[in-house]
Amino acid sequence: MPETIRIGGLELRFLHSKEDTGGSLDVFEMTVQPNARMPVPHYHESWDETVYGLAGVTTWRIDGQDVAVGPGQTVFIKRGVVHGFRNGTQEPGTCLCILSPGALGPAYFRDMAALLAAGAPDLAKMKETMLRYGLVPVPTA
């Protein structure tokens, strides 16, 4: 049964994780509410990410360039490339995210949701959590 994790304006529904694919991939559906975003640009050390648009539009900032991903559109983010995302529209945006190989799993998102549910975000703990799971935060200028 898919697991759903909510983090602020994001909802992630895990369809497959590294645990049930023998580490081959993670697959989750992500819905980004209007004006929600990934607050910290980052890169992944050990996996690539493919994003496929299902509904609405999400905008991905990849290596300094904005890429709008709508239904039927896709973008590939190679490991080591700095990226983040946002929804600047008035409609929710939903996409399918595929991480290969599967290195993240739902545990990262559970941990981040718990940190944010505790009240005001502790940026040091958020950074430590990101690094522990292989996401490297990149400060914005």
Count the alpha carbons within 13 Å of 122 in the hemisphere toward its beta carbon.
Answer: 12
pLDDT of residue 14: 95
Q: What pLDDT is attached to residue 82? A: 96
What pLDDT was estimated at residue 72? Answer: 98
pLDDT of residue 26: 96
- CATH of 3-135 given 3.30.870.10, 3.30.460.80, 2.60.120.10, 3.40.50.2300: 2.60.120.10
Whole-angstrom Cα distance, residue 69 to residue 135? 22
Q: Residue 139's pLDDT is what?
A: 79
Instruction: Show Cβ contacts of residue 113 under 8 Å, excluding neighbours closer than 6 positions.
Output: 5, 6, 7
- Regions of the chain with pLDDT less than 50: none
Domain ranges of the chain: 3-135
Please state, in angstroms and as integers, the Cα–Cα distance from residue 120 to each residue in 41, 53, 69, 87, 114, following that order: 19, 31, 31, 22, 11
Helix (H, G, I), strand (E, B) or coil at 29: strand
